[in-house]
Amino acid sequence: MAILEAIGVGKVYETRGVETVALDAVDLAVEEGEFAALAGPSGSGKTTLLNLLGALDAPSSGEVRLDGEKLADLSPAALSELRLRKLGFVFQAYNLIPVFSAAENIEFVMELQGVSAAERRKRAEALLAEVELEGLGEKRPLEMSGGQQQRVAVARALASRPRVILADEPTANLDSKTAIRLLELMAELNRNHGVTFLFSSHDPLVLERARRRIWLRDGGIDRIEEGAVA
Amino acid sequence: MTSMLRLAWRNVFRNPRRTGIVITAVAVGIGGTLFSVAIFSGMMQQMVENAIQTDLGHLQIHARGYDADPEIGLLLEEGGRAEIDALAGDPAVRAFAPRIRGEGLVTSPSASVGVRVLGVDPPRERMLSLVAGSLVEGSYLDAPRRALLGEGLARRLAVEIGDKIVISAQDLSGDMTGEAVRVGGIFRTPLAALDRGTLFLSLEEAGSLFGLGSAISEVVVLGGARDEIPALQARVLAALPEREVRRWDELQPLLRYMLDTMDQMAWGLYLTIFIAMSFGIANVLLMAIFERIREIGILLALGLSRSRLVFMVVCESIFVTLVGLGIGFGLAGLCLVLLSDGIDLSAFSEGLGAFGMGTRIVPALGVQDLTIPTVVALITALLASAWPALRAVRLRPAEAVRHD
Contact B245, B233 (CB under 8 A): yes
Burial of B258 (0-12, 13-18, 19+ CB in 10 A): middle
Give the pLDDT of residue B280: 83
> Using one digit for the tens of pLDDT, what is the confidence trace for B128-154?
998 999 999 999 998 999 999 999 999
- Select the residue of A57, A76, A109 nearest B398 (Cβ to Cβ): A57
- Select the residue of A80, A93, A98 nearest B303 (Cβ to Cβ): A80
Instruction: Locate the DSSP E strands across B282-361.
Output: 343-344, 360-361
Q: State mean pLDDT over B213-239.
A: 91
A200 touches B at CB < 8 Å:
no
**pLDDT tier at B186, thresholds 50, 70, 90:** very high
Instruction: Return the H-helix or E-strand segment holding A88.
Output: strand A87-90
State whether B3 and A156 contact (CB < 8 Å). no
Does B384 or B105 have the greater pLDDT score?
B105
Distance from CA of B345 to the nearest CA of A (A): 52
Write the DSSP assignment of B211-224 as a string of letters: T-TT-BSEEEEE-S
Q: Where along chain A do its domains lie? A: 2-66+76-98+158-226
Predicted-complex ipTM score? 0.88
How far apart, in whole angstroms, are the C-alpha atoms of residue B200 and residue B140?
9
User: Does residue B227 carry a pLDDT above 70?
Assistant: yes
How crowded is residue A32: how many other Cβ atoms within 10 Å of its Cβ? 14
> Using one digit for the tens of pLDDT, what is the confidence trace for B320-342?
989 999 999 999 999 988 988 88
Cα dihedral angle (B31, B32, B34, B37), rounded to 10 degrees? Answer: 170
Closest CA to A66 of A172, A202, A164, A210: A164
- Select the residue of B3, B295, B302 nearest A83 (Cβ to Cβ): B302
> Using one digit for the tens of pLDDT, what is the confidence trace for B19-72?
898 899 889 988 988 888 888 888 888 888 888 988 899 999 999 988 888 877
**pLDDT tier at B356, thresholds 50, 70, 90:** low
**pLDDT tier at B354, thresholds 50, 70, 90:** low
User: Does residue B202 carry a pLDDT above 90?
Assistant: yes
What's the CATH fold of domain A2-66+76-98+158-226? Rossmann fold (3.40.50)
Q: State mean pLDDT over B359-379.
A: 82
> Using one digit for the tens of pLDDT, what is the confidence trace for B119-133?
999 999 999 998 999
Q: What is the pTM of this model?
A: 0.73
A89 touches B at CB < 8 Å:
yes
Q: State mean pLDDT over B208-216.
A: 90
Mean pLDDT of chain B: 88
What angle is formed at CA B203 by the lines to CA B201 and CA B205, rounded to 5 degrees? 65
